[in-house]
C-alpha cells in the first residue's frame, strides 16, 4: 500500500507541475494574442480581392438558418457563396436555397457532388473539390455549416492573405451552445473555446503556425494543389491539419488570424457529445501522435483528483482537498484568460465550469488510446497512422 501511495503521489505531483507550467504558457500566449489582435484591428482594411466562399453542407441542425444568414449579410464588395451537398434533396442545401432567396443581391450557387468515390472518405473534401470546379475567383474562404460570423468576417479573414507569401490562414473560435442547451453541450462548447484555443495559441507562440483549423480557412486556390490536390486530402479525416502542416513543411506561410468566429455546438445528450469529442481526440492522436501524447500532461483536474485520492488514502485529507482546489484555480486562470481574449460575453459562467471540462478532457485523452474505430454520421470508420481513413465497415 505504501508503494502505491508513493506512485500515486508522484504521478499527481508530476502532472500538477506540468499543467501549472502549461497554464503560465497559456497566460503568456493569450496576452501575446491579445496584443496582436488589438494591433491588427487598428490596421487599414485595404486588401479586398473578389472571394469565392465554399460551404459544404450535409443535412440541417439547430441554428443553421441563422448561420447561413450571416454569410449572406457580409459587408464585402465582391464575393460569391457556393454551397454543395451530396444530393439535391439534402435538407441543408434546400435551406440554403430558401435563405438565398431573401438575399437576391448576393451571387450564390447550389450544386451537388453525389456520394464520395471509393478511397475518398472525407465527404467534406469531396464537396470542396466540386466547389473548386465551379468557383469564379482564385481567392477562397471555406467555412463549415456550424460557423456563425459577424458582418466584417470576410474583410478580416482576407487581410491575412495580403502578404503573397501566406498560403493559408485560419482562426480560433468561440464554442457557443444554443440558448437553452443542456450542460453537456456547454461543457463541449467551453472545451472548444478554451482547450482548443489554448493549444493553438501556445503552439503558435513557441514554434509558429504549422497547421490549420478547418472551421474556416482563407487560402488561394493554388494551395489545395500544392499539397497534392483534393484526391489526396480526401483520404484524411483531419484534412485541415494536413493542408496546413504540408504547406508549412514546404516553407510557405501559414497564419492564425486574430479574427474570432463562433462555432455553434448542438444540444446533444452526454453520450453523443462524449462520442463526438472522442472522435476528435482519436483524430489528433493519429495526426500528431507525440504532440497528443504530451498533451496528457497539460490537463490539471485529473491530477488534482489523484492528489485528493492520495490525501484521503494517506491520512492527509485536507492537503488532498487543497491540492484539488489548487488545480481548479489553475484551470480558472487558464479559462478566464482565453475566454476574455476571445471576447466571450459569458466568460464568468464558462470559466466557473471549465475545471469539469478539463477533467472530462483528461478522460477523453485516455479514451483516445482505446482503438482505431470511430463513429461519424451513421457509419464506422477506421483511423490509421497519419490520420488516413479506411473504408467504413
150 pLDDT higher than 90: yes
Task: Look at residues 120, 124, 144, 140 and name the one whose alpha carbon lies nearest to residue 132.
Answer: 140
Q: Which residue segments constitute the domains of the chain, with CATH numbers given?
A: 47-273 (3.90.550.10)
384 pLDDT higher than 70: no
**With bands split at pLDDT 50, 70 and 90, how would you rate the model's confidence at 203?**
very high
**With bands split at pLDDT 50, 70 and 90, how would you rate the model's confidence at 310?**
very high
**With bands split at pLDDT 50, 70 and 90, how would you rate the model's confidence at 261?**
very high
Q: Cα–chain-centroid distance for residue 88?
A: 29
pLDDT recorded at residue 378: 53
Q: Are 351 and 335 in contact (CB under 8 A)?
A: yes
Q: Cα–chain-centroid distance for residue 8?
A: 33
pLDDT recorded at residue 99: 98
DSSP 292: H
3-state secondary structure 84-103: EECCCCCHHHHHHHHHHHCC
Residue that wins the pLDDT comparison between 157 and 294: 157
Is pTM, for the whole model, over 0.85?
yes
pLDDT recorded at residue 93: 97
Rounded average pLDDT over 132-138: 97
**With bands split at pLDDT 50, 70 and 90, how would you rate the model's confidence at 40?**
very high
Q: What is the DSSP string of 44-66?
A: -------EEEEEE--S--TTHHH
Rounded average pLDDT over 192-196: 95
291 pLDDT higher than 80: no
Q: Are 244 and 160 in contact (CB under 8 A)?
A: no
The dihedral through the CA atoms of 214, 220, 226, 231 has a sign that is positive
**DSSP strand pairing (139-143 vs 51-56):** parallel
Amino acid at each position: 500500500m505504501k508503494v502505491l501511495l508513493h506512485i500515486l503521489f508522484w504521478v499527481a505531483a508530476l502532472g500538477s507541475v506540468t499543467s501549472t507550467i502549461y497554464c503560465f504558457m497559456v497566460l503568456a500566449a493569450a496576452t501575446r494574442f491579445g496584443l496582436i489582435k488589438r494591433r491588427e484591428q487598428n490596421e487599414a482594411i485595404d486588401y479586398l480581392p473578389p472571394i469565392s466562399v465554399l460551404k459544404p453542407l450535409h443535412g440541417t441542425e439547430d441554428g443553421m438558418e441563422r448561420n447561413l444568414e450571416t454569410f449572406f449579410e457580409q459587408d464585402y464588395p465582391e464575393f460569391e457563396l457556393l454551397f454543395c451537398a451530396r444530393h439535391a434533396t439534402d435538407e441543408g442545401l434546400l435551406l440554403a436555397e430558401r435563405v438565398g432567396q431573401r438575399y437576391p443581391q448576393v451571387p450564390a450557387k447550389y450544386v451537388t457532388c453525389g456520394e464520395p468515390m471509393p478511397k475518398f472518405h472525407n465527404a467534406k473534401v469531396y464537396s470542396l473539390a466540386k466547389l473548386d470546379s465551379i468557383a469564379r475567383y482564385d481567392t477562397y474562404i471555406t467555412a463549415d455549416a456550424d460557423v456563425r460570423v459577424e458582418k466584417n468576417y470576410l474583410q478580416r479573414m482576407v487581410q491575412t492573405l495580403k502578404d503573397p507569401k501566406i498560403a493559408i490562414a485560419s482562426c480560433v473560435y468561440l464554442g457557443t451552445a444554443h440558448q437553452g442547451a443542456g450542460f453537456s453541450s456547454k461543457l463541449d462548447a467551453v472545451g472548444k473555446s478554451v482547450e482548443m484555443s489554448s493549444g493553438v495559441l501556445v503552439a503558435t507562440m513557441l514554434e509558429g503556425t504549422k497547421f490549420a483549423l478547418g472551421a474556416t480557412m482563407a487560402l488561394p486556390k493554388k494551395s489545395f494543389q500544392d499539397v497534392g490536390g483534393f484526391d489526396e486530402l480526401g483520404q484524411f479525416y483531419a484534412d485541415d491539419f494536413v493542408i496546413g502542416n504540408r504547406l508549412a513543411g514546404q516553407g510557405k506561410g501559414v497564419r492564425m488570424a486574430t479574427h474570432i468566429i463562433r462555432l455553434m455546438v448542438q444540444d446533444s445528450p452526454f453520450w453523443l457529445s462524449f462520442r463526438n469529442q472522442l472522435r476528435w481526440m482519436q483524430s489528433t492522436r493519429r495526426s500528431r501522435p507525440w504532440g497528443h501524447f504530451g498533451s496528457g500532461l497539460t490537463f490539471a483536474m485529473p491530477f488534482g483528483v489523484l492528489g485528493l485520492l492520495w490525501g484521503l488514502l494517506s491520512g492527509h485529507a485536507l492537503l488532498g482537498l487543497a491540492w484539488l482546489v489548487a488545480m481548479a484555480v489553475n484551470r480558472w486562470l487558464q479559462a478566464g484568460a482565453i475566454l476574455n481574449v476571445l471576447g466571450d460575453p459569458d466568460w464568468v459562467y464558462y470559466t466557473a465550469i471549465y475545471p469539469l471540462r478539463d477533467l472530462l478532457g483528461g478522460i477523453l485523452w485516455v479514451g483516445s488510446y482505446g482503438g482505431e474505430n470511430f463513429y461519424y454520421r451513421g457509419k464506422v470508420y477506421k483511423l490509421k497512422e497519419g490520420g488516413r481513413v479506411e473504408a467504413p465497415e
